[in-house]
Amino acid sequence: LDNVDQISENLQKNVTALESTYSDKEAVQKIDELFTQLRDIRTEMVEDARKNKNDAALEVFNGEYNTVVEELQNLLVSVGDNASKEAHDQYTVTRVISLVCLILMIAIGVVSVTVSSRIAAIMVKILMSPIKEIQAATASLKEGNLDVDITYEADDELGSLASDFRESCTVLHEIVTDA
C-alpha cells in the first residue's frame, strides 16, 4: 500500500508537469479529476481491506475502480497520441525554420561574396587608373617624349609618385632644352 501512495504521488507530479506543457487543458483537467476520483476510490478500498471487508474492496476494485482506470487509460492514450502529433508538428516546423535559415544564410553569403567582389573590382579599377597613366607616361618618356602629361593628383603614395614623375620630366625637359 505504501508503494501505491508513492506511485500516486509520482502520477500527480506528472499531471502537474503535463498541465504546464500540454496544450489541451480540458484533457489535463479531466486526467486530474480522474486521478482524484481514483485516489478517493483507492482510499475506500484500502479502508475496506484494513477492516477485512475484502469482498467489498474487491467489488469496488472490479466495479467503479476499473471503470475509472479504463477511462483514465483511454484518456492517457489519447493524450499520448495528441502529444506525439504535436511533437511531430513542432519538429516539422523546426525543420522548416532551420531550412529557411540555412537558405537565408546561403543567400546572405552569396550576396556578401558578390558585393565584396564588386567592391574589389572597383578598388582595383581605382588603383589601376593612376598606375596605367604613370606607365603610359614612362613609355612616352622612353620613346624620347619629354612633354609627358600626368593628370593624376592625390594625397597618397600614387599621387606622390605621379607628382615626382611630373617634376622629373620637367627637370629633364629643362636640362635637354638648355643644352
The label of the residue with cell 619629354 reads 146
Q: How far is CA 36 from CA 18, 42, 86, in A?
A: 15, 10, 27
Q: Residue 56 and residue 65: Cα distance in Å, rounded?
A: 12
- Write out the chain's pLDDT in tens, 179 residues: 557 777 777 877 888 888 888 888 899 889 889 988 988 898 888 888 889 998 998 998 899 989 999 999 999 899 889 989 989 999 999 999 999 999 999 999 999 999 999 999 999 998 899 999 999 999 988 888 888 888 889 898 989 999 999 898 888 888 888 86
